[in-house]
Copies of this chain bind each other. A is one copy, B any other.
Amino acid sequence: MTKRDLLTMIGKTAGASAMYLAMSSMGEAHETTFTKPVKLEGDVKGASVLVLGAGVAGLVSALELRRAGYNVQVLEYNNRIGGRSWTLKGGDTFTELGGATQHVQFAPGNYINPGPWRIPYHHHGLMHYCTTLGVQLEPFMQVNTNAYLHNTKAFDGKPQRFREISADYQGHISELLAKAVNKNALGDAVTKDDAEKLIESLRSFGALDKDLSYSKGHNSAERRGWAKNPGGGLTAEPIASEPMSLSTVLQSGLWSGIAAGMGIDHQSAIFQPVGGMENVAKGFEKHVGDIVRLNSKVVSIQQDAKGVVVTYEDTKTGARMQAKADYCICTIPLSVLSQIEMNVSDSMSAAIQAVPYEAGFKVGLEFKRRFWEQDEQIYGGISYTDLPITQISYPSTRYGMQGPSTLLGGYTFGAFAYEFTSLPPEERVARAVEWGSKIHPQYKDEFLNGVAVGWHRVPWTMGCFGSWTDDLRKEHYKNLCQMDGRILLAGEHASYIPAWQEGGITSALDAIGRLHQRVVAG
């Protein structure tokens, strides 16, 4: 069974939020080895480096190599830098494989990030470049306890507030354990000395009553919310809400959503660049924009004892040209690189061919107003659903704003993403609106327009990210990352942090470090 099959199966049986969690635990989600700013010291002897691709891996390589004294040029396929660190705003157009072109109609200030959208605090490399390059960050609201958990087969398809499922689950399991400890039902698993503190701690953790029950009253209402909120004056007294039973929570399957913010990659603090992820690339652009050649499609990479020759096509004129350098840092996604003529060793070539690319799908929807804030008091955060859209993410910025606003109306991997990508763009948007209206009935009246990116139809990646398995890593990972003559690969595909910009950054720093060692020693 492939990982993708497994994910699809998990998605179908346990709901999409479980699938999302399973993806995290399969290694799509990791910290980083970056500990301090790189310093490439020593004589670079006038060496030149050609960097292929101006995503974050290419941009970091260009910035640091140039600082160290190398002659650097960068070739980029698109008419902009950033690669998958990309933002779609009103006025942008995007033409996908197959020829369909979408004209983004969002109002000024509205956007979606079709690729990466979050920056965990522990992605130290990316945080370093953001703070030193002046990329302004604002918190990404990962967990919002007032957002929804939704399963079409539970609660008659009515979405539930995250805080209610979360508080009730935590309360009931704390009660079960506290009472078991109290009755000495756990044998010698807990010492007598620890038992008392364990019960005391569960009382706090689970919001239990004096008798160790999780039940209707002040304590549970202070976690899950009140039926009637407290207030002021003569109408002030609150009324507690009624907790669900443990069985209701367990049978609903919605418990699978409450761990969504607990993984190290989604814990607070987690950020987004103000104005969109493209601003990461713009931070680099000030320092290396002048050495990036846009609209340059690489068609061949050839090396010999003297250097590297890259043949590329100007996508505006169709003219073929060559660029030469002593060394090459190639950050082109393996899905594309595997189709480019390139004289590297058989082992690197096999590695390049071996890694499949994960399917990914995002849809951005614009509505007349922020009904999620105004009607439902959901300010940022994510609702999870077992519908194919998997999640709805509300904007983590400009809270309380009036007028049209975008949200992320679907973000999913695996089978659903393939299905979405196979549809024409307008049909993808229509389905996201249809499904989303099961959670927010306001969708139908308030919808304005949308844009949908299926990553297998993005011409310059043909997939979302390198989908490594443990077996593939054993056989190919080192061969992919080894310096091959004068060529080194970098990018999220050459890291243990697939799909994240930090993978691209740390792989670039590792690659240029080894390149530099060679040059200085040579």
Contacts and interface: CB of A to CB of B under 8 A. Distances in A.
Interface stretch (A149-157, A244-252, A335-343): A244-252
A205 B268 contact: no
A234 to B, nearest CB: 5
A361 interface: no
A40 B252 CA distance: 44
A400 interface: yes
Contacts of A232: 33, 490, 492, 494-497, 503-511
Given A173-B177, A185-B185, A204 B255 contact: yes
Given A230-B31, A271-B379, A146 B122 contact: yes
Contacts of A407: none
A117 interface: no
A231 B176 contact: no
A221 to B, nearest CB: 8
Contacts of A490: 232-233
B204 A259 contact: yes
Contacts of A234: 478, 481-482, 510, 514
A399 interface: yes
Given A186-B185, A507-B236, A269 B144 contact: yes
Nearest to A177: B177
Given A131-B400, A219-B25, A494-B233, A18 B510 contact: no
Contact of A146 (B29, B173, B269): B269
A169 B204 CA distance: 12
Interface string A389-404: 0000000100110000
Interface in A55-103: none
Given A25-B222, A194-B246, A230 B268 contact: no
A24 interface: yes
A368 interface: no
A496 B122 contact: no
A225 interface: yes
A263 to B, nearest CB: 5
A216 B146 CA distance: 33
Interface string A352-373: 0000000000000000000001
25 contacts: A31-B229, A121-B144, A121-B146, A137-B400, A143-B268, A145-B267, A145-B268, A146-B269, A194-B251, A198-B246, A204-B256, A205-B258, A221-B264, A223-B264, A225-B264, A231-B506, A232-B492, A232-B510, A233-B490, A233-B507, A236-B481, A236-B495, A236-B496, A269-B399, A271-B379
